[in-house]
Structure 1
Amino acid sequence: MLETVKDRIMEVYDSLSAGRDPRLKGYLLMESPFSMSAILLAYLFFALYAGPKFMANRKPFQLKEAMIIYNLSLVGLSAYIVYEFLMSGWATGYTWKCDPCDYSDSPQALRMARVAWLFLFSKFIELMDTVFFVLRKKHSQITFLHIFHHSFMPWTWWWGVSYAPGGMGSFHAMVNSCVHVIMYSYYGLSAAGPRFQKFLWWKKYMTAIQLTQFVLVSLHVTQWYFMKTCDYQVPLFIHLIWMYGTFFFVLFSNFWYQAYVKGRRLPKNSSKELAHNGKANGSAGVSNGSSAVSNGHGRHVNGLSNGKKHHENGSTLNSKMKKA
């Protein structure tokens, strides 16, 4: 019985492997799904258990310089990925409608396959987002949305790159990289310290940009459902991308509602913490802090004034008693 099940599993695995793009088998992490799955499982174990346990009795690490370098490096990498996607097809021949994947060995097709893999690899680099949160004990930032997005995205894109590195299925990767140029620019400037907070007034628009991303992705693949014919080779990815765009639109909409309508998830950091917090809204914190100091000053002045009045009243009363 066990042998039969094992044989059946191996048949399915061999069938899946046979359909993969042979041009990518020499790339890092592309030999089999096991290495990338192991990395993602280790990531989940660290983010949800090992990391918080390790930091339980330790002070948060101050990683300002590392975060600046990390975030600005991802800005450069994301910008390069956008450029390569454009030069590989989206600005040099794609119709932005039904664009099939080119499996040939032409320079253009190989360039598209390479940037598709590079986009996938960038998703594994971005797992460091969570590592920084854990080491800095920013546990409130490690939400279901954060964990799901960072683990689900690279796992699904591994299969996408393996079977269709290009074509209309790569549109959402290019859009996502555009968003990351903006997002990691914000994080890099924020990590640089309070003196840059005045340039980060657009924090709350980050979520709006991400929501726009999911709308564009869903609208683009929705075209497929209204086309009479389309020779894109892996229609399953169209369905998955549409579900991905819709599902994450709902999750990010909920984040927007909770953070900016109800105000439940807005960070409340002191100005000292802002110097080390790469992803906090410093302007709001400084403003609130200034208001608190101002109110405290007002209470201090009122206290002195009232005390002075009580003292004057007491002196007057004693004087009258002596005269009597």
Structure 2
Amino acid sequence: MTTYMKIFNERISGLATGVDETVDSWFLMSSPAPVVTVVLVYLAFVLKIGPEYMKNRKPKDLKRIMVLYNAFQVCYSIWMCRTSIRESNVMASIFSKKCEINRTREQNLALYSGAWFYFFSKIIDLLDTTFFVLRKKNNQVSFLHVYHHTITVMFSWGYLKYAPGEQGVIIGILNSGVHIIMYFYYMVAAMGPQYQKYLWWKKYMTSIQLIQFVLILGYMLLVGAKGCNMPKTLTFFFVGNTIIFLYLFGNFYRKTYRKGKSIDSNGSVGTGTSLAQSALRAAGGMGCMPIQSKSSQFSMPTPAKQSYIDLNNNSVKPMKLD
């Protein structure tokens, strides 16, 4: 038993040592224990504690909090995007022959610092699910939504701790850029039904998300083809996840904007869009999803008949789009 405990302690001690001792001294970066604790608390709350607490209570009215939260996310994403572009050598890595980048100690720390703020933004993103639970939108707490937030936190932490590579920078820039648009959309949606007539560009937001995945996939394939001196495991992980989300978001776009809901052999409306809709929620979706009235369930509704879910738990109100 003593031998096994010794081996276990050695393995844990090894996990506590990352690529840079300065990074190891930062908040939540000393060892896996702090970030694992955050994730476990998150999972316990959104899957068990929160729903049980809200079971016999009215949904919380979080309109102001959500508007402020989404406004903060927009500003934070703008700052991260700007800082990453200014401090990194992404363009140099793309156009150099072997993606070789030479950095000073100070430049490396600047890169690591940006990666830490990106990681911490994923901690903040966990509030998305918390708001769903407090507003009793438990149907939006899907497996994919929770999985996405969990894996993003753990992976961004592990990336900074053990394998910070140049390929992570461009993903952070693209993701932060999309978050600027996405959280602005959710901020307007959270302001109430009267503002939803300004959300006609929802379809284009999904297109932007798809373009993001295409660019990430193209960049990762370029990194692999050029034989760049970057962590190969990291590249393969990015490629695999990008393909999965590209498929899911593409399916969401096709089902929502091209074909509408399908009808099965019994004449009922199919659930083919549920998986893709879950993928949209996985990206932190906090806006309003279009729904169809019973009278129009077998055909796509016209804009004048389209209804929206009120984020503030009011009754569903039809709104005519301008």
- The interval holding the TM-score normalised by the smaller chain is 0.7 to 0.9
The residue that corresponds to 1:28 in the other structure is: 27
The residue that corresponds to 1:177 in the other structure is: 176
The residue that corresponds to 1:230 in the other structure is: 228
Matched, 1:279 2:291: no
Pair member with larger Rg: 1
The residue that corresponds to 1:37 in the other structure is: 36
Matched, 1:218 2:217: yes
The residue that corresponds to 2:305 in the other structure is: 288
1:188 match: secondary structure: helix
- Bigger drift between 11-20 and 206-215 goes to 11-20
What do residues 214-269 of structure 1 show as CA deviations (whole Å, max 9, x unaligned)?
22212211123322x4322x222111111121222233334445544444569xxx
- Bigger drift between 198-207 and 66-75 goes to 198-207
The alpha-carbon distance between structure 1 residues 189 and 172, as it changes in their structure 2 partners (threshold 3 A), is same
What do residues 108-135 of structure 1 show as CA deviations (whole Å, max 9, x unaligned)?
3322211110000000001000011111
Correspondence list, 1:122-137, <5 A: 122-137=121-136
Matched, 1:68 2:67: yes
The residue that corresponds to 2:105 in the other structure is: 105
1:27 match: secondary structure: coil
Coordinate RMSD, CA, aligned:
3.0
Say if 2:84 and 2:114, in contact at 8 Å, map to a contact too.
yes
1:218 match: secondary structure: helix
- Cα distance in 1 between the residues matched to 2:126 and 2:291: 27
Say if 1:197 and 1:283, in contact at 8 Å, map to a contact too.
no
- Alpha-carbon shift at residue 289 of structure 1 (Å): 6.5
Say if 1:101 and 1:165, in contact at 8 Å, map to a contact too.
no
- Cα distance in 1 between the residues matched to 2:44 and 2:212: 29
- Cα distance in 2 between the residues matched to 1:48 and 1:114: 32
Using the size of structure 2 for normalisation, the TM-score is 0.77
What do residues 51-98 of structure 1 show as CA deviations (whole Å, max 9, x unaligned)?
111111111111111000000100000011011110112467443665
2:139 match: secondary structure: helix
The alpha-carbon distance between structure 1 residues 37 and 99, as it changes in their structure 2 partners (threshold 3 A), is farther
The residue that corresponds to 1:116 in the other structure is: 115
The residue that corresponds to 1:206 in the other structure is: 205
Say if 1:67 and 1:191, in contact at 8 Å, map to a contact too.
yes
The alpha-carbon distance between structure 1 residues 9 and 20, as it changes in their structure 2 partners (threshold 3 A), is farther
The residue that corresponds to 2:268 in the other structure is: none
Amino acid at match of 1:22: E
The residue that corresponds to 1:313 in the other structure is: none
Identity %: 34
The residue that corresponds to 2:140 in the other structure is: 141
Aligned length: 279
The alpha-carbon distance between structure 1 residues 158 and 235, as it changes in their structure 2 partners (threshold 3 A), is same
The structure 1 residue matched to 2:246, chosen from 239, 249, 254, is 249
- Alpha-carbon shift at residue 101 of structure 1 (Å): 7.0
- Bigger drift between 137-146 and 125-134 goes to 137-146
- Alpha-carbon shift at residue 35 of structure 1 (Å): 0.7
- Cα distance in 2 between the residues matched to 1:91 and 1:230: 13
Say if 2:16 and 2:32, in contact at 8 Å, map to a contact too.
no
Correspondence list, 1:80-95, <5 A: 80-90=79-89, 93-95=92-94
Structure 2: 5+ residue runs without aligned partners? 262-270, 275-284, 294-302, 308-315
Amino acid at match of 1:196: Y
Say if 2:100 and 2:229, in contact at 8 Å, map to a contact too.
yes
- Cα distance in 1 between the residues matched to 2:112 and 2:29: 12
- Cα distance in 1 between the residues matched to 2:54 and 2:103: 47
Say if 1:100 and 1:167, in contact at 8 Å, map to a contact too.
no
2:64 match: secondary structure: helix
Amino acid at match of 2:105: D
